[in-house]
Structure 1
Amino acid sequence: MNNQELLKIAVKAADDKRAEEIIALNMKGISLIADYFIICHGNSDKQVQAIAKEMKEKAEEHGYDVRRVEGFDEARWVLIDLGDVVAHVFHREERSYYNLERLWGDAPHEDVLSELNS
């Protein structure tokens, strides 16, 4: 399996839990941390936790190693480290505050969601 497949699994898991404004950024050549970043948000603590839990479980079901999950209990900004894919699941207010899309504005967007829905 490859990074693109893991990206699709994680994005679909977020979409299945009704994550909002899901963005996948191609970080190759921009970040040494990961090849892809996923950014999305939920509207409540419970939804943020549900999105993060689903992403973790689906990755594990497909044989991927989940290295670390940070911020789950607080449910304001949950970071799921899947190795070459890192997911940022925000609570709505935190997403607009940190505005990671602007921080990594030079990163190209991957159109994974439309592929999954077609």
Structure 2
Amino acid sequence: MTDIKSIAVNALEDLKGKDIVSMDVSGLSDVMETLIICTGTSNRQVKSLANNVVEDGKEAGIRPIGVEGMDSGEWVLVDYGDVVVHVMQAETRGFYDLEKLWSMTPNTREDADGSDPHQD
């Protein structure tokens, strides 16, 4: 089986995507295992980067479940199920800060108020 993670990263590198990050989010999500984030310098580059991921995946026989945001080119999401690729312009990436969001562990009730929910 071909590894869509390496195909996606290579496709992004081929078109000079910036700050490519691959995160294992399997412990935080039931719907995906890997999140790949990349910055493009313009609408045109964001679209080209995302399109290159899709095309290289197709050449390997892997088609995305969906592609969102190709019209604007500000933020394009390519969904392969277990692997989700986000290609964003720098300002958008900085605003949403997905790396920070997805690196946070969920609060438990004990974390939130300092009490142990199992202790009465």
Query: For the superposition of Structure 1 and Structure 2, which TM-score range results when normalised by the shorter chain?
Result: 0.7 to 0.9
Contact 1:65 1:83 in 2 (8 A): no
State the structure with bigger RCO (CA 8 A, min sep 6), 1 or 2. 1
* CA distance in 2 between partners of 1:27 and 1:105 (Å): 8
Q: State how many pairs are aligned.
A: 105
Alignment correspondent of 1:97: 95
Local SS of the residue matching 2:103: coil
Q: Are positions 1:12 and 2:4 aligned together?
A: no
Q: Distance in 2 between matches of 1:51 and 1:92?
A: 14
CA contact (8 A) 2:74 2:92 kept: yes
Percent pairwise identity: 39
Residue 40 of structure 2: aligned partner: 42
Alignment partner, residue 112 of structure 1: none
Residue number in structure 2 paired with 1:114? none
Report which of the two structures shows the higher radius of gyration computed on alpha carbons: 2
The equivalent of 1:72 in structure 2 is 70
**Which aligned segments of 4 or more residues in structure 1 are displaced greater than 2 angstroms?**
none
**Consecutive unaligned residues in structure 2, runs of 5 or more:** 106-120
User: With structure 1 as the length reference, what TM-score do the two structures score?
Assistant: 0.84
Query: Helix, strand or coil: the match of 1:18?
Result: coil
Report the TM-score when normalising by structure 2.
0.83
Tell me how far apart the structure 1 counterparts of residues 81 and 101 of structure 2 sit (CA, whole Å): 21
Deviations 1:11-64 (A, max 9, x none): 000010111000000111211121101001101001000100000001111011
